[in-house]
Chain A
Amino acid sequence: MRRLLGYLGAIVALLVGWWLLSVAVGSPALPGPAPAISDFVRLWGSDLMPQLFESGWRVVASMTIGVALGAPLGLLIGRSPRLDAVAAPLVFLTYPIPKIVFLPVLLVLLGIGNAPKIALITIIVLFQILVTARDAARGIPVASVLSVRSLGATRGQVFRHVVVPAALPDIFTALRIGTGTAIAVLFFSETVAGTSGLGYYILDAWGRIAYSEMFAGIIAMALLGVVLYELLEMAEARVCRWTRVGR
């Protein structure tokens, strides 16, 4: 309830800010909230919702693959000094390279459909989660591991009872940060290639000089981000119940 009120307040503040800015700028490229929202409502069923689902599934698919590969890999590397000696330099050499520059390559290799977009977002999210998971696994208190090992736990059991739960909150943080990155990359890749998704829609509206429609698309993009963010928040609250102790 408090959360809902918070959102309500934030939306009002944003709308007022937007309106003031549009009045101050006074350019057709920055319409006020009223025409944008009316276009949003008008186009929701016919254009925006289908595009939002198209974009949404791309992001969700990429992030799912990214976390499914990146988290276990990062945890393994973080817990094994020998693996880390090999993998860490590799990761640190490739991590700072902006992966987005590979979009042209991916377009050539995978065509202009869903595959290159999902591949690009996956790679980017995967790296972020891998690096976070590795650091989280390295930072696990020795006492936690020793106490479970003293109970006779195998390596697998140490992973299940200690490493994975200890790293989960950090992995969720990486996912939340990753959501922002993923949507930005999605927008970029949808504007570069293909004829579907919110990125394409926004760019297309811009090309038609339909600025209020463009802003309706931007609102849909923001909606996508908020929904993903809230879903992550809900998942974390379920999976990491102990982190709410004392809050």
Chain B
Amino acid sequence: MATVDACEVEVVYEGVDRLVRALEACSLTVEDGEPVAIIGPSGCGKSTLLLAMAGLVRPTDGDVLVGGETVSGPRLRTALILQDFGLLPWKTVFHNAALGLEVRGVSPAQRAERAGAALERVGLTDFCGAYPGELSGGMRQRLALARALALDADLLLMDEPLSALDALTREDLQGLLLDIWRQRQHTAILVTHSIEEAVFLGRRVVVLTPRPGRVAAIVENPGMGAEGYRSTPEFYERCDQLRRLLAAEGAFGETALTGVEAS
């Protein structure tokens, strides 16, 4: 069970010479097996929220619960895919995919089997011995996904995983993400800058306010996952609704400079 509960989460960063309040009283509940997309103005704390859910940033106030337990560090079945993939350039494709298993002390035979299966699922079997530097952007993204799959994660946290890709590759991988979710039914939280991507991959779409980030609105998107959803009127309607909500949060105007305090 991987429900996610953020209760009144506040994160204040100690910057070089000032305090930055990235999140303030941010509350969000995600059901087990639910795919949720998070969208918001740049710098509003989306990555921070994800890192708090992954147990890599400790909230200065409030709590994050995963599966009913307070998160105090990395959790065994949570997988995190970062903005720039977080791959290790000095390890081969296979080693990158198997890294999570190695770190968790899984036997080499098991590692080979599970990482091999995950790489096959994302279509990278032929590149096992290559280094990430030899892969295209889309392939690197597939590799990051394979690493998460090899862990058999029940909670998949993704921070703008597709933002560096061209439109075609991006759509292709959105399809792959959807397929994999359909098949595994894991809890998925996707941070994205793309309205279409949020509507395509989120059963609910969470809109955050400018920094300090709080939940501004949640858009229900029950049609998500339906065949050919991308070309239905409902899809366009949701996108439009989101665009208006984001405009109201000032996502398209000058970036708000609130939340910066002198220290």
Contacts and interface: CB of A to CB of B under 8 A. Distances in A.
Interface string B77-104: 0111011111111110000000110011
B56 A150 contact: yes
A149 B91 CA distance: 16
A162 B88 CA distance: 7
B44 interface: no
B133 interface: yes
Contacts of A168: 90
Given A150-B78, A152-B74, A246-B133, A165 B90 contact: yes
B99 A151 contact: yes
Contacts of B147: 151
A38 interface: no
B103 A157 contact: yes
Interface string A213-247: 00000000000000000000000000011100110
Nearest to B73: A152
A36 interface: no
A148 B99 contact: yes
Which one of A144, A148, A152, A245 has the highest number of Cβ atoms from chain B below 10 Å of its Cβ? A152
Contacts of A246: 133-134
Given A165-B88, A242-B131, A245-B131, A146 B104 contact: no
A144 B96 CA distance: 11
Interface string B139-179: 00000000100010000000000000000000000000000
Nearest to A169: B90
Nearest to A164: B90
A42 interface: no
A161 interface: yes
A148 B103 contact: yes
A157 B103 CA distance: 7
Contacts of B134: 245-246
Interface of B: 51, 54-56, 74-76, 78-80, 82-91, 99-100, 103-104, 131, 133-134, 147, 151
